Amino acid sequence: MGPIRLSTDAVVVLAGPSASGKSTWAARWFRPEQIVASDDLRAVVGTHTGDLRASDDAFAVLDEIVSRRIERGLLTVIDTLGMNLDLIDRWRSLAGASDRPIHLVRFDEKPATCRKRNAARTPSVPAKVLSAQLSKWEEVGDEVAARFDAVHAPAEVHVVGRSLLGTTGTGADHQLGFGLLVSRFDGPDIAGRLAEIAREAETAGFGHLWVMDHFIQIPQVGREWDSMLESTTTLGWLAAHTQRVGVGALVSGITHRNIGVLGHALATLDVLSGGRARCGLGVGWFAREHRAIGMDLPALDDRYALLEDALEFLPLLWGPGAPSFEGRRFSTPEAIGYPRPIQESIPILVGGSGPRRTLRLAAKYGDACNLFGEPDTVAELVEVLRQHCVEANRDPAEVEVTQLSSILVGADHADLRERLGQQVAAAPAGATPEDLVERTNAGTVAEHIDRFGRLADAGVETVIVSLADVDQPGSIEAFAEIIDEFGP
């Protein structure tokens, strides 16, 4: 019997007679606040947990709590006898209306075992009441189960993010490249740890190292007073501590620097790294940081125009001669810059998944594009990219498809729970394990291998990962097993 795999917003109904093990099992696998138990509520609205006179009021309160939790998308475990078909139908209806998966865990314990356990309880259920429950469970147990698509015997529980719920852990026969995005710069020795990360990533088999191009930490990652290193300077540091991996910003905001200055910085990086620079470009979005350093954030149409100028201009700057350039928002009488890059042209990655404008620019000018989303979404975007390539008279194979994933990896589920616990301990107050599971796509090596295989099926050639615990020793080494699975 395998583990029960639950999404972070699942509804779990426990069914079986008293003393069949429901509460003990629930306490083993779920936090107290996730369990809504009729016995506990009898003690709230009555005199004690066995106050059967308070049952109607207890179930009214239980129904209200379950309804609110389902609406909020909270993982909810309903611990009752689970034999009331009207209540079962109501919970199924509530879950369906909110598009929440609902599971039944049925406890078919032997009657003698239930009676023995009950006799040892204080207070115990009256013997006649327990006998009636056992008889009713024998009568309605199969009818209850027939109302659920997912029915389980009690077993180990794995709470899985939506991105990994469909995985089987079987792996896939694909070849993928991997890049590592470093988006946090914590700890007392930022420079030392960053150098260690770079060396560990190269040893593990990552093909590229990336950093974000921001001046203030973005809210999706941390607090605005957390350290945020300037990207071009940091890429030089990463290049100095590696020999093979490519280095680039994912992605440089087009408004963050004059295009000519950016082009010269990247050419310098390419020369000093021995031909390993990559250029990531995007339209930018973070108004807060623009205000903080005294820059304007132009209208979106203007930023797209400037991005297209950069895509046309940078190859000229890095190429022979010094041609003039007249763009939509950027112009120069001579595109001159020395030294030239070691590479014939630094590969340009266009960041963003906008199907109408961003992917059109990637198809027309880019060497790569970076997409967001899970396999179904990515497959749709890849098809849009291919259509744009056809319209631009380019072979779609000329544009590398990359995908960005936030990742937390455990060797197995025990290791994953430990790593997740560390993340929860370091998270802001109020963050739950389920929040972190979704935010970090927390999963085992086997589950991630399966997911990356599905991304490869969707057309992804390189996965760029942001490891949630990259600042912890061993996290990069743990990911190396995944890289090996998709190697040549």
Q: Does 165 map to a domain?
A: no
330-378 confidence digits (pLDDT tens) = 999 999 999 999 999 899 999 998 999 999 999 999 999 999 999 999 9
Q: How many helices (H) and strands (E) does the chain have?
A: 17, 19
Query: How big is the chain by its Cα radius of gyration, in Å?
Result: 28
Say yes or no: 71 and 16 in one domain: yes
The last residue of one of the domains, among 160, 195, 214, is: 160
Say yes or no: 342 and 446 in one domain: yes
Say yes or no: 91 and 186 in one domain: no
Say yes or no: 54 and 202 in one domain: no
Show Cβ contacts of residue 102 under 8 Å, excluding neighbours closer than 6 positions: 10, 11, 12, 13, 91, 92, 95, 96, 148, 150
Say yes or no: 147 and 235 in one domain: no
Contact predicate 348/367, CB 8 Å:
yes
Q: Does 171 map to a domain?
A: no
The last residue of one of the domains, among 133, 160, 187, is: 160
Q: Does 166 map to a domain?
A: no
Kindly give the parts of the chain with pLDDT less than 50: none
pTM over 0.85: yes
Say yes or no: 277 and 347 in one domain: yes
Cα–Cα dist 206/431, whole Å:
31
Contact predicate 269/232, CB 8 Å:
yes
Contact predicate 30/184, CB 8 Å:
no
Apex 33 CA angle, 97 and 142, nearest 5? 55
Cα–Cα dist 319/337, whole Å:
9
Name the residue among 167, 152, 168, 164 with its Cα closest to residue 29. 152
**Where do we find the tokens 């100095």?**
240
Residue 144's domain comprises 4-160
Q: What is the sign of the dihedral through the CA atoms of 387, 177, 230 and 371?
A: positive
Cα–Cα dist 149/166, whole Å:
15
Give pLDDT, residue 166.
72
Say yes or no: 347 and 214 in one domain: yes
Q: Does 54 map to a domain?
A: yes
Q: Which CATH number does the domain housing residue 16 bear?
A: 3.40.50.300
Show Cβ contacts of residue 362 under 8 Å, excluding neighbours closer than 6 positions: 350, 368, 369, 385, 388, 399
Burial 76-110 (b: 16+ CB within 10 A, else e): bbbbbbbbbeebbeebbebbeeeebebbbbbbebe
The last residue of one of the domains, among 160, 190, 213, is: 160
Give pLDDT, residue 222.
87
Tabulate helix, strand, coil % of the chain (nearest 5).
45, 15, 40
Apex 173 CA angle, 172 and 179, nearest 5? 80
Q: Does 168 map to a domain?
A: no
Give pLDDT, residue 50.
74
Count of domains for the chain: 2
Say yes or no: 254 and 403 in one domain: yes
Say yes or no: 156 and 204 in one domain: no
Q: Does 167 map to a domain?
A: no
Say yes or no: 204 and 347 in one domain: yes
Apex 439 CA angle, 436 and 441, nearest 5? 95
Q: Does 146 map to a domain?
A: yes
Q: Which CATH number does the domain housing residue 431 bear?
A: 3.20.20.30
Q: Does 183 map to a domain?
A: yes
Cα 386 to chain centroid distance, Å, stands at 26
**Three-class SS of residue 227?**
coil
Say yes or no: 429 and 283 in one domain: yes
Give pLDDT, residue 172.
55
Say yes or no: 108 and 233 in one domain: no
Give pLDDT, residue 168.
59
